[in-house]
């Protein structure tokens, strides 16, 4: 239920964002057709066309994985352990890539040992993911999963025995733990390193089920990891400004993004600024000095990021999902019926969620996917373990609360969309165009990825010179006819041939309505030559040069 509610809120937020970049011109059916074609084709190739759909899809895909995982693990309990094993193996692979990169860089110096000792303390490495802190969150979760699965495999859990996990597997999981710890250390994510310690306390129940020699072996491994890391901990957690990454700088950085998040939340507390909009809108809420150095940034706090983007109406079901799973785990832990694998997964989730306080790992697709899979496996294993989580009266209240949130989210879309369209900054907004690219000559351009595209110009612009060309790999002699509309009315027809830039000059009459921007639609109405072979021609649209009359 909470996953469905959150999915509706996210989808409604995406529709509002789409409304902001689509005025009443060619709306709704032509625009809806473009969105549908994008979902069927370019969504799987070039996601830059509709950023709102891409940002929402990442959340919706995670929720879909969660629901599918809970359903399938509920039907086959052994699948839950396999999911957790799969995620742990993936984390071990990511750690191996980090460690391999460390040794490769050290070998190239010619002084391998000294370079290795210096690098392990000074550099940060992540090979699989673009975000170092997100990689740290992922590996922290994998580290505790590996430790928990080692105890589960070596323990006296009959369910795991039926799942095909023998006691010998514990001997394979134990050496994986320091391996993952080193991979985590190399990311340099201090938040993840700190989060591992309190989260490890969740492993105590499953550790008590293991044999005495297994428990002592795990303790020895943990002590060894801590002792080996102590000589290198100084620079990682140094407050001195002479350190490569002083803690003070990182804290001040996050304080600034946190203040911006609270300003954003105060302005849009109910519905938020829109799914995926924090980065683009953050500059409006930074102080001038910080904005001069950092024009845009994420919240570095996943809780605040979700609250600022989706508002209270989205934050409630988001916490609801986590709370329901947490309640099921806590109830099973108290009753002693929680499977050992679920305990291991819960420990990993605790570490991952603690890193949300100073990071945003859910913004990285692969990391978010691992989180939703682990959450699903833990939820299903906790419930299937005989844990009763429902109460008739309470369930009735939650049902009405869910219905109320859905109704508010859906019913508010027209009003929110109209307000978003009036307030939107459409300077770089576009439909049917790729993200900005730069050609060999330094000219910026965007590629048409449909037969029609739309961008926006300031309403006070009086003329425009628009560079246009056929894409560079077009056939010789190719030519197309273009139709350019301004605010839905025909403004120009031109013929474009060749892959060299041609400038289309246009006079922009005064707009009829008082608005900040006006839409320019470009449509390929006829392909004269060069489309043989079934491959459609595409156009590159350069950055327009605008002339604006000075107001007296």
**269 pLDDT above the threshold of 90:** yes
- pLDDT, position 468: 93
* DSSP at 1: -
The reported pLDDT for the residue numbered 292 is: 85
Chain-centre distance for alpha carbon 109 = 36
CA 384, CA 399: separation in Å to the nearest integer?
A: 22
More confident residue, 108 or 361: 361
62 versus 239: which is more confidently predicted? Answer: 62
Selection from 321, 322, 328, 315 nearest residue 391 by Cα: 328
**pLDDT average, residue stretch 427-448:** 82
pLDDT confidence of 238, banded at 50, 70, 90?
Answer: low
Phi, psi for 171 (deg, rounded to 5): -70, -25
Residues whose CB is less than 8 angstroms from the CB of residue 360 and which lie 6 or more positions away in sequence, other chains included = 131, 133, 134, 298, 299, 300, 301, 302, 305
Res. 160: pLDDT tops 60: no
Q: What is the pLDDT of residues 23-46, one digit of tens each?
A: 555 556 767 777 787 788 767 766
Of the candidate ranges 153-157, 479-483, 514-518, the one whose mean pLDDT is the lowest: 153-157
151: which 2 tokens? Answer: 């105890």
Angle (CA) 272 276 279, round 5°: 95
Q: Which one is predicted more confidently, 471 or 380?
A: 380
Per-residue pLDDT at 536? 65
Is the omega angle on the peptide bond into residue 28 within 30 degrees of 0, that is, cis?
yes
In whole angstroms, give the CA distance from residue 420 to residue 17: 7
CA distance 284 to 277: 12
pLDDT of residue 84: 93
pLDDT at 159 over 50: no
Task: Identify the residue with better confidence: 118 or 311.
Answer: 311
What is the token pair recorded at 192? 């993840």
Q: Quick check: 431 pLDDT over 80? A: no
Query: Residue 285 class from Cβ within 10 Å (0-12 exposed, 13-18 middle, 19+ buried)?
Result: buried
With a cut of 80, say whether residue 181 has pLDDT above it.
Answer: yes
**Of the given ranges (163-172, 193-202, 344-353), which has the lowest mean pLDDT?**
163-172
342 within 8 A of 385, measured Cβ to Cβ: yes
Residues in the chain, overall count? 552
User: Highest mean pLDDT range out of 89-98, 102-111, 176-185, 196-205?
Assistant: 89-98
Instruction: Please report the pLDDT score of residue 387 as a whole number.
Output: 46
Q: What is the pLDDT of residue 163?
A: 43
The mean pLDDT of 499-504, rounded to a whole number, is: 89
pLDDT at 164: 45
Which pLDDT does position 521 carry in this prediction?
87
Q: Which residue has the tokens 């001195």?
A: 240
Q: How high is the pLDDT of residue 264?
A: 94
Q: What is the average pLDDT score of the chain?
A: 82
Q: What pLDDT digit, counting tens, does each position of 522-547 carry?
A: 988 877 665 554 456 788 999 999 98
User: Percentage of residues in the chain with pLDDT exceeding 90?
Assistant: 34
Helix orientation angle between 77-108 and 51-75, rounded to the nearest 10 degrees: 130
With CA atoms as reference, report the closest residue to 138 among 148, 147, 129: 129
Residue 158 has a pLDDT of 44
Tokens matching residue 223: 């002590």
CA 33 to CA 113: how far, in whole Å? 61
Across the range 232-261, mean pLDDT stands at 70
pLDDT band at 552 (very low <50, low <70, confident <90, very high): very low
Tell me whether strands 444-447 and 437-438 are parallel, antiparallel or unpaired: antiparallel
Using pLDDT thresholds of 50, 70 and 90, give the confidence band for residue 314: very high
- Which SS3 state, helix, strand or coil, does residue 369 take? helix
Task: Dump strand ranges (E) for 476-529.
Answer: 479-486, 489-497, 502-507, 517-529
Among 245-249, 289-293, 357-361, 366-370, where is mean pLDDT lowest?
245-249
pLDDT at 281: 87
Report pLDDT digits (tens) over 367-399: 999 999 999 999 999 886 544 445 666 777 888
Signed CA dihedral, 360, 364, 370, 374: sign only: positive
* Beta strand ranges found along 432-500 (DSSP E): 437-438, 444-447, 452-458, 461-470, 479-486, 489-497
pLDDT of 278 above 50? yes
Report the distance separating Cα 190 and Cα 136, nearest Å. 8
Q: Mention every residue, 6+ apart, whose C-beta is less than 8 A from residue 55.
A: 14, 17, 275, 276, 277
* pLDDT > 70 in the chain, percent: 81
Look at residue 307 in the predicted model and tell me its pLDDT. Answer: 96
Higher pLDDT, 474 or 104: 104
Higher pLDDT, 215 or 73: 73
Determine the average pLDDT of the residues in 396-414: 89
Residue 291: the pLDDT is 87
Looking up tokens 């999963």 gives: 145
Reported confidence tier of residue 161, pLDDT bands at 50, 70, 90: very low
Does residue 490 carry a pLDDT above 80?
yes
Could you tell me the pLDDT band of residue 219, with boundaries at 50, 70 and 90?
A: low
The answer to whether residues 286 and 294 touch, using CB atoms and an 8 Å cutoff, is: yes
């Amino acid at each position: 239920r909470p996953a469905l509610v959150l999915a509706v809120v996210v989808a409604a937020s995406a529709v509002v964002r789409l409304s902001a970049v689509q005025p009443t011109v060619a709306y709704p059916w032509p625009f809806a057709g473009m969105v549908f074609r994008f979902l069927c084709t370019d969504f799987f190739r070039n996601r830059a066309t509709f950023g709102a759909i891409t940002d929402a899809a990442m959340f919706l895909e995670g929720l879909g994985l969660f629901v599918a995982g809970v359903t399938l693990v509920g039907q086959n309990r052994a699948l839950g352990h396999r999911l957790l094993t799969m995620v742990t193996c993936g984390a071990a692979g990511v750690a191996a890539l980090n460690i391999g990169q460390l040794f490769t860089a050290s070998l190239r110096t010619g002084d391998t040992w000294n370079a290795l000792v210096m690098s392990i303390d000074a550099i940060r490495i992540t090979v699989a993911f673009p975000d170092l802190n997100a990689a740290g969150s992922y590996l922290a979760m994998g580290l505790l999963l590996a430790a928990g699965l080692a105890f589960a495999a070596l323990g006296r859990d009959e369910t795991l025995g039926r799942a095909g996990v023998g006691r010998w597997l514990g001997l394979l999981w134990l050496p994986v733990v320091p391996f993952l710890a080193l991979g985590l250390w190399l990311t340099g994510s201090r938040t993840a390193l700190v989060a591992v310690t309190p989260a490890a306390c969740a492993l105590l129940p499953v550790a008590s089920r293991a044999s005495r020699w297994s428990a002592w072996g795990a303790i020895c491994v943990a002590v060894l990891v801590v002792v080996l890391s102590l000589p290198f901990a100084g620079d990682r957690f140094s407050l001195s400004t002479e350190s490569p990454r002083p803690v003070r700088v990182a804290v001040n950085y996050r304080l600034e993004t946190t203040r911006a998040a609270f300003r954003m939340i105060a302005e849009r507390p109910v519905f938020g600024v829109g799914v995926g909009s924090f980065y683009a809108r953050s500059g409006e809420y930074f102080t001038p000095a910080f904005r001069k150095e950092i024009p845009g940034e994420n919240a570095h706090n996943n809780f605040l990021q979700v609250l600022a983007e989706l508002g209270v109406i989205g934050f409630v079901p988001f916490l609801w999902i986590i709370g329901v799973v947490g309640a099921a785990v806590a109830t099973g832990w108290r009753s002693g019926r929680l499977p050992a694998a679920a305990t291991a997964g819960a420990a990993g989730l605790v570490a991952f969620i603690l890193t949300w306080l100073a990071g945003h790992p859910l913004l990285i697709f692969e990391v978010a996917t691992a989180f939703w899979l682990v959450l699903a496996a833990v939820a299903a294993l906790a419930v299937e373990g005989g844990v009763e989580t429902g109460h008739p009266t309470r369930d009735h209240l939650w049902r009405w609360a869910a219905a109320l949130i859905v109704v508010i989210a859906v019913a508010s879309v027209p009003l929110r969309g109209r307000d978003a369209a009036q307030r939107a900054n459409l300077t770089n907004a576009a439909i049917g165009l790729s993200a900005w690219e730069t050609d060999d000559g330094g000219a910026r351009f965007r590629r048409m990825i449909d037969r029609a595209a739309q961008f926006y110009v300031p309403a006070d612009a009086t003329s425009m010179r628009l560079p246009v060309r056929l894409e560079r790999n077009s056939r010789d002699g190719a030519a197309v006819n273009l139709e350019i509309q301004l605010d839905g009315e025909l403004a120009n027809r031109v013929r474009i041939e060749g892959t060299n830039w041609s400038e289309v000059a246009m006079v922009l009459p005064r707009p009829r309505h008082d608005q900040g921007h006006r839409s320019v639609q470009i449509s390929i109405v006829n392909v004269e030559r060069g489309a043989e072979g079934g491959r459609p021609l595409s156009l590159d649209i350069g950055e327009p040069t605008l002339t604006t009359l000075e107001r007296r």
